[in-house]
Amino acid sequence: MSQSYILSFELTLPQRIYPYLDRLFNVFKWEVRRTVGEIWNEDFFKRFKGRGSASAILKEILKKPPNIPSRVHRNILELSGEIVRSHIERKRIYDYLMEKPCRVLFDEDRIADELNASPLFVLNVQRQVRKILRKEKDKKSYFQVVKPSFNGEVVIFSADDSVENGQFKKLRFSRRYIEFEIKVPDGNSWKWIKVRKLIPDRLKKFLTEAKRTCAPLIKKVYLKSGLSIYRLVIPLEFETRFSEGSLKVFSLDLSPSEKRLGVGVIVSPEGHSRPIFFNAEKMVKKLERILKEISNLEKKIDNIADEIHITGNREHKVRLEKRLKHLFAEQKLKWRKFKELRKQILEVFTKLILEYARAYDYSFIAVERLKFSRLSDWKNRRMRRLFSQWFYARFIERLRQKALRYGLRVLLINPYRTSRVCHKCGGEGKLEKLEFKCQCGTYDRDYNASVNIGKRALEKLVSGAKSEPYRGEDIPARFPFLQGTIHLKGKALLSILPLTLLLSYLRLVETSYLKLSRLSRYLQTDKYG
């Protein structure tokens, strides 16, 4: 079984063509905004529900401006149509909730099952509807509430002809160089400009493996310094084959909290392994510290803003405004640091899970189907909202994207009662914070849940069931062969990563199943080095 996926590579374009790109991006910005305003109605929503190209639908209805080439206009229509099309699913959920406003209080999973939608998407629309109902007494249509905007930071070429010989762009690869041509406005006319760059070694490697090159795009990126650059984004399509391998599952109970990110277990017909704890306590404390610093800055900003309104001294007011500007810049820097560190934790966590797959040769990763509205209690509620909920929302998406590259499958398992049923005897136990107590003994709560998730995933694979079974059944009774414990020996865990990279990873996400002194010896051998 195979599946295609796309990886994008970015190349910074030379500054000599930036004046031309500035004019091109301005044309796209204002034309897309004008077009979206014209098609923002119920009639065009119905037209875009099909699979047809947006430009093919719109080109017969909207006239081309006389000063814009036909292929450029076609891409403007395509981008405008995709912006409108991206709101179709949101509007469907919005109308469903507005039909009976009490539905905003329902569980997002219940509504997601009824509408066959993403639970996270439903939760976001529920929040939007709650805000509207608080402010407005009368029900409003989606077109009155939502006004789409386009910031003009991207130019697409998907509605052009072929990648190599388009009428708006041309992208060719030689042995050493990338040749890119694009048509840009120059006064009252349009002309071609050409860029030639060396192919980076990393891209050169993937070009030989890629199935095909997809339509590129150009995006505008704002740097920390405030300056902007233009980057050419080259999407490459790859085909991956899922590895059947042995019937072995890495199950993970995700529990983003102040002490850990999750607990993993390797489950196979012979039994299950010891728990693997993924911790990020140091980094979470660092995030809390940054958040506290942001809170202190906000208090200073409020105090200075109040003082500006009170003071009558013009010189003092100017000094306060400079100070306020400095504090706003510092606050923005802190927020950027917070978000980047949070993203690094997620990226490293998913990477380490996949490294376990490469080291222990399993083909499936089982994770619970997450609920975004039910999160663990943290002392700092704001921290929980900014880190933990974001973590829930992004984890499965990123894990699936990365697993696809390695030919691994991610299974979503119903988490019903996995924390309350003993993985050994099947009896119901008691939960006390992070402990699970049963007549068989006392276990870590998340470890017990991860074993149960792995057993459910194995049942799903053995039976070939498409649905998610288990609504309170006796788990171990259905798996008499899963009572033992696997002692995994003979392989150095995470030995595929270079030691220097591994050490930098462990600063963000710590794993309890790792002995660095033992690992360093394996890394020096030919087998793992």
Residue 99: HSE in the Cβ half-sphere, 13 Å Cα cutoff: 6
By the 10 Å C-beta count (0-12 exposed, 13-18 middle, 19+ buried), 302 is classed as exposed
C-alpha closest to that of 349 among 154, 508, 150 = 508
For 437, list phi and psi in degrees, rounded to 5: -115, 130
Model confidence, pTM: 0.77
How would DSSP label each residue in 232-266? EEEEEEEEEE----SS-EEEEEE--SSS-SEEEEE
The pLDDT profile of the chain, 529 residues, written as one tens digit per residue, is: 677 888 899 999 999 999 999 999 999 999 999 999 999 999 998 888 877 889 989 988 898 888 899 999 999 999 999 999 989 999 999 999 998 888 888 888 788 888 888 887 888 899 888 888 887 767 678 888 888 889 999 999 999 988 999 999 999 998 889 999 999 998 889 999 999 999 988 888 888 888 889 999 999 999 878 789 999 999 999 888 776 656 788 898 887 776 788 888 888 887 888 888 888 888 888 888 998 999 999 999 999 999 988 888 888 999 999 999 999 999 999 999 999 998 998 999 999 888 887 777 788 899 988 765 555 556 677 777 777 777 877 888 889 888 888 888 888 888 777 878 888 777 777 877 778 788 787 888 888 888 888 888 888 887 764 434 333 334 444 444 444 555 544 444 555 567 677 777 777 787 775 554 554 454 444 333 2
Query: Measured on CA atoms in the order 370, 374, 378, 384, is the torsion positive or negative?
Result: positive
Strand partners, 233: 10, 217
Residues 6+ apart with CB under 8 A from 92: 115, 117
Residues 6+ apart with CB under 8 A from 89: 117, 121
| Rounded distance between C-alpha atoms, residue 484 and residue 158, angstroms | 55
The two counts, helices (H) then strands (E), for the chain are 16, 18
